[in-house]
Amino acid sequence: MTLLNGDKYIELIYRLLPECMGICLIAPAGEWCDARVTGLQISDMLQRVDARFARDARDRRNGVEALDGAHTLHYGCVQDQTDTLIVTVGIATAAQADAANVDALMTFVGGFIRDEYRLNRDMLNITDELATRYEELNLVYDTEDELSSFSEQDDVLQKLVENCVDYLDVNLAALLVPGKGIHKSHYSKALAPQRIPLLLKELSASVFDALRTSRQGIVANNSDDANRLNVSVFPGKLLCTPIFVVNEVDGMLAVVTGVSHKDFTNSDRNILEVLARKASKVIQTNYDARTGLVKRVGLEYHLENALQSARHTDCAFTVLQADVDRLQLVNDLDHQAGDVLIQRVARLIEKQVRASDTVASLGGGCFGVLLRDCSLTEGERVGEKIRAAVEGLAFEWNNHPLDVSASVGIAQLTSQTESIDEVMTGIEMATKEAKEKGRNRVHLFDDPELVQRRDQITWVSRIQDALREDRFELYAQPIAPIDDAREIRHWEILLRMQDNQGQIVPPGLFLPSAERYQLMPGIDRWVLRRTLELLTDHGMNELEFHAIWAINLSGYSVSDGDFLRHVKEEIRRTGTKASSLCFEVTETSAVANLAEAQRFIGALQELGCAFSLDDFGTGFSSLKYLRELTVDYLKIDGSFVSNVHQDPVNSAMVKAIHQVGRVVGTKTVAEFVENDEILEHLRGIGIDYAQGYGIGRPGPLLDVLQVLGKRHSKRYA
């Protein structure tokens, strides 16, 4: 944008002053001249006007002088409010022209020139300002401060320094957080590459020291500022601002530019502070604000990398968790006391490990440590060092000495480790064990009971995944009347799980975990819903013979009042014949919740469903409960049956159960009938039904239903 257009003023002067013979306008940005008569020495005019208003001339009054014999030169100037020359004017007239008239005209036109110039100059300044603000705004918009993963931090911070260089038009931007190993920088092509290492060194030394003292932004636009602040990045201009992660000046964001760049302003400092806060927010996503240690996500990230490297290089890693004992007592005393203690323990743990190890804060006075290239024995030694150091911590609060200790749990990470969850669970369980054994001790995650419990915990998530992804499958095993093993109308529904590779997992592997960790209600519901849907889909409610489908229920479902409502609802929804369903509950679970079991069994029998007491005989003293539980079938536990033909004691047990069944009017079923000899023996006793490999192996329920459906439709055809 040009601040002044001289041509239109020449035009204006000619129109207002017809006797004018030539005009020249001289502005810092250019000259405009015009002569109306031949022979007029314009160059002479320019020289004279220029000489009159030389930059240092004090006398800027308008005046008149003879140009040549025939012409007079009228000269004058226009100044702004600060007496800066905007333009100088020369007007040539005939020698006899009225000087006062020309003078008045010059003042008049000068007013217009001044106004236009001022408006244009203000507009230019405003646009300049707008352009700067716009860049700042875009810089803030364009700079992320959210992380979606631990590893993204690097990219986000790198983009932040690149944006500083691009938007703020500086030569170098650097983000340094030495304690976290964060060193990001970016530079423009205007900066000589050989200067960069030195600049970065100065930033991280003298400039960072100055920031730590000042705790606020530093602007140094010249060497005086630099000397005063005791910083040395010169020649150049510097702007830097602290980054607070843990209430300390943990790092800095700095921009450096050349001497020709316009001075850094307070506005620049503000914008850099906004970016420093963004950087700090990014870092705080990964680092704990209280201890400055990496958070759980960070430990998991490093564990994941460790696991990869263990698989590829057979490198040994040991992972430990240290949990401050009875932190609650300290917190109850004073919340601040807890914070101070945690900070001191954090520093203490850092001192016991190498710089190459990773110490993380897991929250609540709990720390996780990844020891690289470290055997279990060595890890145990480090764990003991940490325990001893915490115990030796002389911690006082308000002059009260407090006893401090920590429980440490240790686990190994090897190429055999399946997932980092396994390790995390391992150290948690080992720490818990250390606490239960009396605190202030180190416990290794290596005893078989812990391993088994950990395996069960890992099963939990697999079962939950399988439930969510519908990876369960129903099998059915036939139960035959003992006097005619071919006339099968009775099946027990069994559950199989597919692992995430599609392999079938036998129930013995996952049901114990499901029982222990309360997953059975969900599984029971799934089995019930799926069975009833399949039966209905395959027309099992229209069979011309009375089929019975036995569904296992866990003790949880028996005592869950809502489950009964759920069964009724599913029967209604699918239109299943209630009389075709039999529910099996184990003797143990029925007896454990006797009153609830009675109510539950009674309610379902009222609907028409049948009931079995499963694994009967293993609960020993429970024969007398048979009086209270009116069930339809007793399933004699397989342990009595599998060698009933060889073991007289078992044979006597089976006989006794059968007789009790007869008396209370309950049919008996023998499980584990593996061969004809057993079958014969049971037949001799008078058992009603048999189930086992000797009768038929379990197969997919779908296959059974398809066979039955075909046979059924043939009979109707």
Partner 1 sequence: MSKRILVADDEPHVLRVLAHSLEREGYEVKTVANGADAYELVVQAAPDVLITDISMPKMTGQTLCERIQEQMPDRQFLIFILTSRTEIEHREWSAALSNVKFLEKPVSTRKLLNQLEDYFDLQDASVA
Q: Does 693 bind partner 1 (CB under 8 A)?
A: no
Number of residues forming the site for partner 1 (CB under 8 A): 18
Using alpha carbons only, what angle is made at residue 126 by residues 124 and 131, rounded to the nearest 5 degrees? 95
Shortest Å, Cβ 400 to partner 1: 57
Query: Which CB sits closer to partner 1, 140 or 460?
Result: 140
CA distances from 308 to 266, 376, 414 (A): 49, 19, 10
Tokens of 311: 């698989």
> The tokens of 364 are what?
């609540």
Q: Which residue among 19, 80, 142, 378 contacts partner 1 (CB under 8 A)? A: 142
Q: How far apart are CA 530 and CA 117, in angstroms?
A: 86
To partner 1, the closest distance from the beta carbon of 268 in angstroms equals: 14
Among 27, 106, 139, 682, binds partner 1 (CB under 8 A): 139
Q: Would you give the binding string for partner 1 spanning residues 183-222, x where CB under 8 A is met?
A: ------x---------------------------------
Nearer to partner 1, 139 or 337 (CB): 139
Half-sphere exposure of 261 (CA within 13 A, CB side): 24
Return the ∠ at Cα 34 (arms to 30 and 38), rounded to 5°: 145
N-term to C-term CA, the chain: 96
Please, what is the minimum distance in Å from the beta carbon of residue 173 to partner 1? 12
| One residue of 108, 112, 141, 693 binding partner 1 per CB under 8 A | 141
State the minimum distance, in angstroms, from the CB of residue 167 to partner 1: 5
**Closer of 187 and 459 to partner 1 (Cβ):** 187
Helix (H) or strand (E) holding 304: helix 296-313
- Which positions from 150 through 179 interact with partner 1, judged by CB under 8 A? 163, 165-167, 169
Residue 167 or 616 with smaller CB distance to partner 1: 167
Shortest CB 26 distance to partner 1, Å: 23
Q: Which residue, 169 or 533, is less far from partner 1 as judged by CB?
A: 169
Instruction: For partner 1, give the closer residue by CB, 136 or 671.
Output: 136
Spatial CA neighbour of 236 closest among 256, 251, 262, 250:
256
Query: What 3-state class would DSSP assign to 73?
Result: strand
Query: Least Å distance between CB 188 and partner 1?
Result: 8
**Minimum gap (Å) between residue 127 Cβ and partner 1:** 5
Cβ 135 to partner 1 shortest distance, Å:
6
Binding mask 634-673 for partner 1 (x = CB under 8 A): ----------------------------------------
- Quote the least distance from Cβ 148 to partner 1, whole Å: 16
Cβ proximity to partner 1: between 139 and 226 the closer is 139
Give the type of residue at 662. R
Nearer to partner 1, 139 or 520 (CB): 139
Measured between alpha carbons, how far is 610 from 597 in angstroms, rounded to an integer? 14
Cα–Cα distance measured from residue 392 to residue 379, given in angstroms and rounded to the nearest whole number = 20
Instruction: Report the nearest approach of partner 1 to the CB of residue 112 (Å).
Output: 24
Burial 365-378 (b: 16+ CB within 10 A, else e): bbbbbbbbebebee
User: Distance between CA atoms of 384 and 352, rounded to whole angstroms?
Assistant: 10
Based on CB atoms, which residue is closest to partner 1, 105 or 164? 164
Tell me whether residue 137 or residue 509 sits nearer to partner 1 (CB atom). Answer: 137
| CB of residue 132 to partner 1, shortest distance in Å | 9
Which residues inside 456-495 make contact with partner 1, applying CB under 8 A? none
Q: Pattern of binders to partner 1 over 82-121, x per CB under 8 A?
A: ----------------------------------------
- Kindly calculate the radius of gyration of the chain based on its CA atoms and give it in whole angstroms: 46
Among 81-89, 139-147, 250-258, 414-422, which window interacts with partner 1 (CB under 8 A)?
139-147
Tokens of 380: 């145990």
Tell me the backbone φ, ψ of residue 482, rounded to 5 degrees. Answer: -70, -25
Alpha-carbon distance of 521 to 83, in angstroms, equals 91
> Segment 119-138, which members bind partner 1 (CB under 8 A)?
127-128, 130-131, 134-135, 137-138
CB of 84 to partner 1, least distance (A): 21
Identify which of residues 127 and 659 has a Cβ nearer to partner 1 in the complex.
127
E-strand ranges in 419-506 read 442-444, 472-481, 490-498, 504-505
Please identify, using beta-carbon distances, which residue of 2 and 415 lies nearer to partner 1.
Answer: 2
**One-letter amino acid of 458:** T
The residues in 416-455 that bind partner 1, with binding defined as CB under 8 A, are none
Largest CA distance in the chain: 155
Q: Which is nearer to partner 1, 128 or 154 (CB)?
A: 128
- Nearest distance from C-beta of residue 91 to partner 1, angstroms: 32
The CB-of-168 to partner 1 minimum distance in angstroms stands at 8
Decide whether 131 or 664 has the Cβ nearer to partner 1: 131
For partner 1, which is the closer residue by CB, 128 or 542? 128
Whole-number Cα distances in Å, 26 to 54, 117, 302, 387, 688 = 12, 14, 71, 85, 124
CB proximity list for 290: less than 8 A, separation 6 or greater: 246, 339, 342, 343, 361
Sign of the torsion angle spanned by Cα atoms 647, 648, 649, 653: positive
Backbone angles phi, psi at 583, to 5 degrees: -105, 135
Side-chain half-sphere CA neighbours of 561 within 13 A: 1
- Of 138 and 222, nearer to partner 1 (C-beta) is 138
Taking the complex as a whole, the smallest distance from the CB of residue 237 to partner 1 amounts, in Å, to 16
Own/partner contacts of 98-106, CB < 8 Å, gap of 24 or more, are 99/64, 99/72, 99/74, 101/17, 102/17, 102/20, 102/64, 102/74, 103/62, 103/74, 103/76, 105/13, 105/16, 105/17, 106/62, 106/74, 106/76
Tell me the closest approach of the beta carbon of residue 355 to partner 1, in angstroms. Answer: 38
User: Closest separation between CB of residue 260 and partner 1, Å?
Assistant: 14
Q: Which is nearer to partner 1, 68 or 128 (CB)?
A: 128
Label each residue of 384-428 as H, E or C: HHHHHHHHCCCEEECCEEECCCEEEEEEEECCCCCCHHHHHHHHH
**Paired residues of 251 in beta bridges:** 243
3-class SS at 672?
coil
Each as own residue / partner, the long-range contacts of residues 109-114 (CB below 8 Å, 24 or more positions apart, any chain) are 109/9, 109/12, 109/13, 109/16, 110/76, 110/77, 110/78, 112/9, 112/12, 113/4, 113/9, 113/78, 113/86, 113/87, 114/78, 114/79, 114/80, 114/86
Q: Which residues of this protein are in contact with partner 1, per CB under 8 A?
A: 1, 127-128, 130-131, 134-135, 137-139, 141-142, 163, 165-167, 169, 189
